[in-house]
Amino acid sequence: MVGELWKALLDYLKRTPYWPVIEPVALTGFLYAGVCIVSYQYLQWRYQVTLDLPLFLQSYLLRQVSVGFAALVGVFLALTVRRPADHRRLSKAEWALRIGLVLIIGATALFLLKAWSPESRVSPIRVRFAAFGAFAAEPDGGAPPGTRDKAAADYQHLRAMAPYLLYEINHRQRAWQLEFDTTPFRTDLVSQADEARCARDDTPALCIAEAFHARATAESANRPLVLITAQPLGGGGTRAWFWLNRGPVSVVTLADWGGAGSAGAIEYLAYALVVQSVMIHMQAHCGFTQPPSGTPEGVVVGNVFDLQPGIDAMRAAVLTGHFSPSDERQLLNCFGPEYMRTAVSLASLQWLRTAAVRETLRKVYGVELVGS
């Protein structure tokens, strides 16, 4: 039925005086649609991703395909339009003009392709654990005997497992690398002036981490930093939940999860490392703001960049962490399909729940994941 209607429409158009104009335009449109469909299928096969059609239509990929197709059409027109009807050879001036048009079209296309290309290189992320109690405001004299020792032992045990988690993340993808600094972080690694200044800050842990990162930058040993601590992050008028981030520095606390010995601490640590890595890269290259602009306070939908106001919301996020469609689009346009696939896969923690990783954690480190 549709085929017959289409044939009737073509027959009608061919009888109109506008057919000589309509035919090349329609043919170009069909070729462009075919190129877009082939590109869409190729990208899904090449990067093993499932791109929703709206995501593809809003991505840099469609813009690049469109520029390339338009450039080829432009070159064809520049070389063939208004050829002499008597088949005489073009003069040198005519050839020079046509070649000049081809060069201009090619240069414009290359400029646009470069401008719309995603960031192909992102920096490695350095992960470091703070010494237990490094950011404690004062000794906890009211704690039962042995509580602090157990918390310290749980923290050290989690720290011992951290390199294995990083290695699992690294060998499962090529988008970025996590580096583990085996030296515990101490507050005396920054100057006394910075230490005193940060002691008066509402978020002393983030302040000290930024001061340390600034000094490392000056010494040409710069890497974005994710610092793990056992102490809460808020120091005064600010109540920080789970993590704080500013530019290339993030600080993640285990205190809001209930401590390193709480159920699900391994999942929380793995989730936090992935989210903070992506957040640092997006702030460096995509103009990302944390918290996302316009986000209502206290309203969460399970997106990894939600502001989690409590342990219940964070537990749910860790169990079902995902990126919103707008975040996936931003990842795709900033870093390309492989990075987007990597970020979405790692944030879901499916890699952590595989039988091989569960068995390694159980046999080597003596821990069971939630739901094992």
Cis, peptide link before residue 291, omega less than 30° from 0: yes
Residue 203 has pLDDT above 80, yes or no: yes
Tell me the pLDDT tens digit for each residue of 71-92: 999 998 888 877 665 566 777 7
Give the fold, CATH level 3, of 125-365.
Collagenase (Catalytic Domain) (3.40.390)
Rg, Å, the chain Cα set = 28
Mean of per-residue pLDDT scores for the chain:
82
Q: How far apart are CA 192 and CA 259, in angstroms?
A: 29
Q: Which residue has the tokens 């240069």?
A: 107
In three-state secondary structure terms, 252 is: strand
Tell me the pLDDT tens digit for each residue of 220-259: 557 899 999 998 887 555 556 788 888 899 999 998 888 8
Q: Nearest 5 degrees, angle CA 312-CA 315-CA 318? A: 150
Instruction: Categorize the per-residue pLDDT at 94 as very low, low, confident or very high, splitting at 50, 70 and 90.
Output: confident
For every residue of 268-333, DSSP letters joined together read HHHHHHHHHHHHHHHHHHS---SSPTTPPTT---SBTTS---SHHHHHHHHHH-B--HHHHHHHHH
Which stretch of 205-214, 225-234, 292-301 has the lowest confidence by average pLDDT? 292-301
Going by C-beta distance under 8 Å and a sequence separation of 6 or more, which residues neighbour residue 268?
254, 257, 314, 318
Tell me the pLDDT tens digit for each residue of 261-289: 888 899 999 999 999 999 999 888 887 76
What are the extents of the domains in the chain?
2-115, 125-365
Average pLDDT over residues 146-156: 86
